[in-house]
Amino acid sequence: MCVLLTDMYLKDIQTGVCAVEGEPVVEKESAATALVDGNNLLGPVVGNFCMNLAIRKAKEVGIGWVVAHGSNHFGIAGYYSMQALKENMIGMSFTNTSPLVVPTRGKERTLGTNPLSVAAPAEHGDSFVLDTATSAVALGKVELNERRGDPIPDGWGCDPEGHVTTDPKSVLTGGGLVPIGGSEATGGYKGYGLGMMVEVFCGILAGAQYSKYVRTWKVTDRVANLGQCFVAINPENFAPGFNERMSDLLSIQRDQDPAEPGSPVLAPGDPERLNMKKCEEIGGIPYHINVVKYINDYVKKIGISQLLPCDNVVSV
């Protein structure tokens, strides 16, 4: 998905709304915590700095909790939580985003998709990896259905009056996404609460922009000043046998008889592992030809001549 955001990253740099030089700065810290100023650098620069700092602190005192303000879109939340797995630690990452989600019983978009990720190590390189937005779906899925002229499933978004709708155009023109769970009757208030929890850890705790004060999605008229949170926890500071119990927990889920033959029960992180295996087998990451052409057309405009190949067609 981040490949599709290449134009946004480049636009931020070209317009000067995002800094390209400098380093994140630790403004305040204790043995286990830190407040970081991202200095308006690219999100991955800030994210790597903060997660590395959290891991260092967890090695020393058992836990590292680092929050940052002055950051930008950092890509995939799971990329940062999974860094802790290399040190046999639990990792967590959170970020707030531009307001796209309408709270339960509301009509105004006042929360972002606010993703969160938790990664926990098990035995023999296995792991639990949760990476999820707190909205029912990403905005891009609604946009895709609108371009196709297809309705969206019930529970993806709402119209300008806050009513759940299957009309993608209504969601995109004054409506918004709904939290995980959909409507109040189907538990959407739980996703709404999770979205606010991420905002507490990110915008509020870090002193960044939050809620409706974050800039509009893909509008680069001002600094984003996103808030982000990175956590590392060393299981060695807690009960012994963590990895063994994690493996057992994963096996309990995976080893049960599936409701539908041929569709085994998966643990969080399993679908991504299967996709990674496919990519290794074919020697690269497959993208739809339209995505490749879009990126090539965009980079040509900024003077890049080495383009992505369009002739290596694979069946996946």
**Do 164 and 82 reside in the same domain of the chain?**
no
Q: How many CA atoms lie within 13 Å of 302's alpha carbon, on the beta-carbon side?
A: 12
Mean per-residue pLDDT, 78-90: 98
Residue 183 lies in a domain: no
Secondary structure element (H or E) that encloses residue 219, with its range? none
| Paired tokens of 108 | 């105004």
Task: Look up the domain containing 36 and give its range.
Answer: 1-133+189-285
**Do 210 and 267 reside in the same domain of the chain?**
yes
Residue 31 lies in a domain: yes
> Is this structure's pTM higher than 0.75?
yes
- CATH code, domain carrying 63: 3.30.1370.60
Mean per-residue pLDDT, 120-139: 96
**Do 50 and 169 reside in the same domain of the chain?**
no
**Do 116 and 204 reside in the same domain of the chain?**
yes
Express each pLDDT in 220-254 by its tens digit.
889 999 999 999 999 999 999 999 999 999 999 99
If pLDDT is split at 50, 70 and 90, which confidence band does 2 have? Answer: low
Task: Tally the domains of the chain.
Answer: 2
Express each pLDDT in 179-192 by its tens digit.
999 999 999 999 99
Residue 303 lies in a domain: no
The reported pLDDT for the residue numbered 286 is 86
Residue 304 lies in a domain: no
Residue 204 lies in a domain: yes
- Is 304 buried (19+), middle (13-18) or exposed (0-12) by CB count in 10 A? exposed
The reported pLDDT for the residue numbered 220 is 80
Per-residue pLDDT at 197 exceeds 80: yes
**Do 128 and 143 reside in the same domain of the chain?**
no
Strand partners, 37: 25, 69
Express each pLDDT in 289-311 by its tens digit.
877 888 888 888 888 887 777 76
Backbone angles phi, psi at 295, to 5 degrees: -65, -45
**Do 115 and 22 reside in the same domain of the chain?**
yes
| Paired tokens of 201 | 């850890």
The reported pLDDT for the residue numbered 223 is 94
* Contact call for residues 66 and 93 (beta carbons, < 8 A): no
Please state the separation of Cα 215 from the chain's center in Å.
Answer: 18
If pLDDT is split at 50, 70 and 90, which confidence band does 77 have? Answer: very high
Q: Residue 65 corresponds to which amino acid?
A: W
* Contact call for residues 171 and 152 (beta carbons, < 8 A): yes
**Do 159 and 240 reside in the same domain of the chain?**
no
**Do 208 and 242 reside in the same domain of the chain?**
yes
Secondary structure element (H or E) that encloses residue 120, with its range? strand 116-121
**Do 2 and 87 reside in the same domain of the chain?**
yes
**Do 267 and 119 reside in the same domain of the chain?**
yes
**Do 65 and 158 reside in the same domain of the chain?**
no
* Contact call for residues 195 and 111 (beta carbons, < 8 A): yes
The reported pLDDT for the residue numbered 5 is 77
**Do 60 and 204 reside in the same domain of the chain?**
yes
Instruction: Give the burial string for 88-104 (b: 16+ CB within 10 Å, else e).
Output: ebbbbbbbbbbbbbbbb
- CATH code, domain carrying 145: 3.30.60.50
The reported pLDDT for the residue numbered 316 is 54
If pLDDT is split at 50, 70 and 90, which confidence band does 287 have? Answer: confident
DSSP state of 152: P
